[in-house]
Structures are given as C-alpha cells and as structure tokens.
Amino acid sequence: MRKIVASAFVSLDGVMQAPGGPEEDPTSGFKYGGWTAPYWDDVLSAAMDEVLDTPFDLLLGRKTYDIFAAYWPYMNESDASKPAGEIVGKVTRLFNKATKYVATRTLTTFSWQNSQSLGNDVIATLRNLKKKDGPVLLVQGSSNFVQTLLAHDMIDEVTLLTFPIALGKGKRFFGEGARPGAFKLIKSQTSGTGALVARYERAGDVKAGSFVTEDPSKAEIERRKNLA
C-alpha cells in the first residue's frame, strides 16, 4: 500500500506560502516570498536529500503544478546557482522523471512530461492509488491541495522544516479545515541557522486527559468558588 507523504517549509506561525522566491505566490498581497533562502545550509540540504532519496511520484495542486512546470523542465541538472544549489540538479532529475498527479478539473493538456490529472473525484482516485504498489506519493508545496488531503485524513507522514521566523498572514500548512489527529515524531534535527527539521507519522485520534488526579470534595468546590 502506498503512503502519501507531505514535505513543507513553514514559519513558526505555520505559514508555508512562497518559501522559494518573491514571485512564487504573491496572492493576497504576500510580500515575503523567498523567506527560506537566508537560512539555507548543509543540514537543510541533507534533510531534503533524505526526503528525495525515497522513490516517489508527485502529488501537486494546480497552482504548484503551474509553478513547477514553468521551472523544473528548463533547469540544468548541474546548476548550482541557488542557495540550495547542491540539490538543484538532483531535484531537477527526480521531478522530471517522476509521475506528476495533478489536482485539477480543468487542465487536460500537460506540457510537463509524465503528468496527468487526478480527475473529478480527487480523493477517490487517491484512495485507489494508495491501494496499489508503487513509490510513495510526495506532496510538495500545494497549500490548497494540502487542506483537502488533511480534511480527509489522507496524509500518512509529514516532514516539516520550521524556520525561526514569523510571517503573520499567509497560507498555512495546518489550516482551519485540518481534521484533528495525533502525530508521532520519528526524527528531528536542528540546522546551524536555527531551522528545525522534524518528521512525523500519523498516530491515530486525539487523546485528551486531565492534570486533576482526583475529584475535589463538595467542601473544596465551595472553597474554590469563594476564592474566585
């Protein structure tokens, strides 16, 4: 059975919008595009290497597909001109090779090789894909699509690279539609620039408890009311 694995760059306040550059996603007046670049180092490159070392196909929302399709097919595999230049070539090769499943109801012709639509019922298609043998289904970016996946409890594993910055408004990984659920920390490390890399897997439903160890007596309840 195939897993759906999500990887995202997020700020301390959970924003994942436009981490790679100013023009990536300026919707709703977002003005901090490229906010991850000043923090990039060898630890973060190695963390992304680890994500990419597991064979994968890509799951992409329509907007992220358009951004990627206008960029990765035209990159040189040996290009090292970006802050994360040491992995640009690897990403170029793997993204171009992978099958791209796109959440779109309108796009029928794809310019990027090995791309196809998930159809009108995205969740049903994904449930069928998960039942089959094959590489993991990796979600990159795709903030709107992530909300759909979280709402239907479709994500099995999450790798979050959390950067020491607050961005205020912006698209968030765990938006309002996310279904409550527990996650188990599998691995974590910190970069030299203060970014936290953490990998989680789904761990069932939310479990609640209480720090109160015993029920207070009626007299104690009255005493507390009088103190309030």
**pLDDT tens column, 21-79:** 898 889 999 999 999 999 999 999 899 989 999 999 999 999 999 989 998 898 876 65
Q: How many whole angstroms separate alpha carbon 224 and alpha carbon 177?
A: 38
Query: pTM of the entire structure?
Result: 0.83
Four-point Cα dihedral 121, 125, 128, 134, nearest 10: -170
Q: How many whole angstroms separate alpha carbon 18 and alpha carbon 141?
A: 9
How remote is the C-alpha of 146 from its chain's centroid? 7
CATH of 4-227, one of 3.40.50.1820, 3.40.50.300, 3.30.470.10, 3.40.430.10: 3.40.430.10
b/e 159-187 (16+ beta carbons within 10 angstroms → b): bbbbbebebeebbbbeeeebeeeebeeee
Domains of the chain by residue range: 4-227
**With helix as H, strand as E and coil as C, how does 16-58 read?**
CCCCCCCCCCCHHHCCCCCCCHHHCCHHHHHHHHHHHHCCEEE
User: How many residues are listed for the chain in this entry?
Assistant: 228
Q: What is the mean pLDDT of residues 89-108?
A: 91
**pLDDT tens column, 142-185:** 889 999 999 999 999 999 999 999 999 999 999 887 899 999 99
